[in-house]
Amino acid sequence: MNTQKHNKLLIVLAFFSIYVIWGSTYLLNKIAVLELPPFMLAGFRFLVAGLLIFVICKFSGIPLKISFNQFKNTTIAGFLFLAYGNGTVVWALQYIDTGFAALEISAQPLVVLILMRLIQGKKIQTMSIVGVFLGFIGIYLLVSQKEIISQENSILGMVLVFTAMLSWGYGSLFVGKAKLPSNFFVNTGYQMFTGGLLMLIISIFTGEEWTSPLDWSGNVQFSMLLLIVFGSIVAFTSFNYLLRVVSPEKVATNTYVNPIIALLLGWYFLNEQISLQSVIAATILLTGVYFINTKKKLTLYSRFFKKDSIDTL
């Protein structure tokens, strides 16, 4: 009985992590990127997080030794997810609002679904087709707002966020087949370490000016601490834990909650405006994501589609 209560508490806390903590990382990155160069910021965050995970594994008796092939694959995943996938989003936050970025990224399931069709040739379930259609409408309404596209470099920021989604989407397909460390904590540690190292190398080649953490403002130091400990280690660990104890579609509900958290935090702390068109676009877009994630079928048409076609991510 006590074990069941303990597990329920862990599940609740884990959902809180992927809902609220991941939703708040947009705000924290925005605060930091207004003072720090983006690739140095993101590289420092993940490199330190990876090193901390290695230290935790060492003291917990978890073996860190992996094969060369596993190291190569974690490096590729670290590049796709973090060095490019996260680094370009942080760069884009210099020019677009946090809520806008979160809403655009909420279309990630749509991107993954299309990549599965193009790369793997998998058929798309009827409900997912509806989701893709709604997703495109939502994205169009989101990015067509004059007050947004008129901002300096906002279009470039939107395009880069979309390419980051492609990188995350392809990374999702890659790790599904790649040979990676069996321990998810070790796997995450190597991805963060290699991804962070790659971002710091990119930072050097792009000529970013580094500063000592001792010279950062108090707000940036606090934001970085939260990003490393909670945004990287706690939230990613919670995500992997939930994938083991609850159904994937329940875990995927963070796709709906993160943009709402990001919008509210950006509005409250940074005075970012939430337009009516953004609200409508968010509603349509998130409805489309729901249709993509759901396992239900449209009764009228389901008989015309094969049972092995894609209906979830």
User: What tokens does 261 get?
Assistant: 């958290």
In a domain, 180, yes or no: yes
Residue 22 has pLDDT above 60, yes or no: yes
Q: What is the pLDDT of residue 7?
A: 83
Amino acid at 310: I
**Is residue 310 included in any domain, yes or no?**
no
Question: Does a structural domain hold residue 311?
Answer: no
For 60-117, the pLDDT digits (tens) are: 999 999 999 999 999 999 999 899 999 999 999 999 989 889 888 888 888 888 888 8
Phi, psi torsion values for 306, nearest 5 degrees: -70, 155
Q: What average pLDDT does range 30-49 have in this prediction?
A: 95
How far apart are alpha carbons 313 and 310 in whole angstroms? 8
Q: Tell me the per-residue pLDDT of 179-211, one tens digit each, with 9 for 90 and over.
A: 989 887 898 899 999 999 999 999 999 999 999
User: What does pLDDT average to over the chain?
Assistant: 85
- What's at 224, amino acid-wise? M
Predicted local confidence at residue 297, as pLDDT: 52
Compute the average pLDDT of residues 155-181: 89
Compute the distance between CA of residue 1 and CA of residue 66 in angstroms, rounded to an integer: 38
Residue 146 region by backbone torsions, left for phi larger than 0, else alpha for psi between -120 and 50, else beta: alpha
Task: For residue 313, tell me if it sits in a domain.
Answer: no
User: Is residue 312 domain-resident?
Assistant: no
Q: Is residue 175 part of a domain?
A: yes
| Digit-coded pLDDT (tens) for 209-241 | 999 999 999 999 999 999 999 999 998 888 877
To the nearest whole percent, how much of the chain has pLDDT over 90? 47
Whether the pLDDT of residue 260 is over 60: the answer is yes
Q: Is residue 163 part of a domain?
A: yes
Cα separations in angstroms, 37 against 24, 25, 29, 246? 20, 17, 11, 38
Question: Phi then psi for 135, rounded to 5 degrees?
Answer: -60, -45
Q: Which residue range forms the structural domain that includes residue 57?
A: 2-304
pLDDT score at 6: 53
Q: For the chain, how many structural domains are there in total?
A: 1
Token look-up 């329940």 returns: 250
For residue 303, name the pLDDT band (cuts at 50, 70, 90): very low
Q: Is residue 280 part of a domain?
A: yes
Q: Are 44 and 243 a contacting pair, CB within 8 Å?
A: no
The pLDDT tens digits of the residues spanning 137-153 come to 988 888 788 777 777 78
